[in-house]
């Protein structure tokens, strides 16, 4: 049984490679977006990225693919990326979400250039969208007093918790 499982595991990468080979239907000399996406996601997965991270990359790249509307991957230029980011902002998306899309696209296209799948980096002069700075609300004096009442006592646990609480209050430490 162990031998059968070992054989099965050794066959799995071949299936992935076959999937990549089949996805590499090209438009002229340009590799398909699907091929590039699968190659990138496989790279992230094999590098130990979490399933959630890989899924997030897949979602962002899927949305970008829709925006591409059939444009070959090697014809994406900085203005096209700016149009995409502008469309994301115009759709009412939060600036932090658009910034995440930018970061994911930056990783994707850097990977494609490093792997020599495409020759030029389309985000070269594209600036990331700005994220407005937000000020975190602080605790009111009443809130501090309520927590202080809860932490009254001389047990080691309460003394430790009171010290941690006042350390975070005095230094602005966020948890």
Q: What integer is the mean pLDDT of 98-125?
A: 94
Query: What count of other Cβ atoms lies within 10 Å of the Cβ of residue 106?
Result: 16
pLDDT score of 82 more than 90: yes
CB of 20 within 8 A of CB of 42? yes
Q: Which range (19-23, 99-103, 107-111) has the least confidence?
A: 19-23
Percent of the chain with pLDDT over 90: 66
Give per-residue pLDDT as tens, 118-172.
989 999 999 999 988 888 788 889 999 999 999 998 999 999 999 999 998 888 8
More confident residue, 96 or 4: 96
Q: What integer is the mean pLDDT of 65-77?
A: 92
Q: What pLDDT is attached to residue 1?
A: 47
pLDDT tier for residue 104 given thresholds of 50, 70 and 90 = very high
For the entire predicted model, the pTM comes to 0.66
* Token pair recorded at residue 153: 């006592």
Q: What integer is the mean pLDDT of 76-80?
A: 93
Query: What count of other Cβ atoms lies within 10 Å of the Cβ of residue 84?
Result: 20
* Token pair recorded at residue 2: 């162990």
Tokens 């054989």 correspond to 7
pLDDT tier for residue 14 given thresholds of 50, 70 and 90 = very low
Count H helices and E strands in the chain, helices first. Answer: 7, 0
Query: For residues 50 and 111, what is the distance between their CA atoms, to the nearest angstrom?
Result: 18
Sign of CA dihedral 60, 20, 114, 119: negative
Query: For residues 100 and 94, what is the distance between their CA atoms, to the nearest angstrom?
Result: 10
pLDDT tier for residue 174 given thresholds of 50, 70 and 90 = confident
Query: For residues 141 and 139, what is the distance between their CA atoms, to the nearest angstrom?
Result: 7
Q: What SS3 state is found at 21? A: helix
């Amino acid at each position: 049984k162990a031998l059968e499982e070992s054989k099965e595991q050794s066959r799995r990468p071949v299936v992935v490679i076959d999937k990549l080979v089949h996805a590499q239907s090209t438009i002229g000399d340009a590799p398909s977006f699907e091929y590039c996406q699968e190659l990138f996601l496989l790279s992230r997965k094999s590098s130990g990225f979490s399933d959630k991270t890989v899924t997030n990359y897949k979602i962002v790249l899927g949305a970008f693919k829709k925006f591409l509307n059939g444009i070959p991957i090697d014809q994406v230029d900085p203005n096209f990326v700016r149009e995409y980011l502008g469309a994301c902002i115009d759709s009412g998306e939060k600036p932090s979400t658009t910034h995440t899309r930018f970061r994911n696209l930056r990783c994707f296209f850097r990977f494609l250039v490093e792997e020599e799948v495409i020759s030029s980096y389309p985000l070269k002069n594209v600036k990331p969208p700005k994220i407005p700075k937000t000020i975190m609300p602080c605790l009111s004096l009443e809130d501090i007093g309520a927590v202080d009442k809860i932490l009254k006592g001389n047990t080691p646990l309460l003394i430790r918790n009171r010290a941690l609480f006042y350390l975070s209050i005095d230094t602005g430490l966020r948890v």
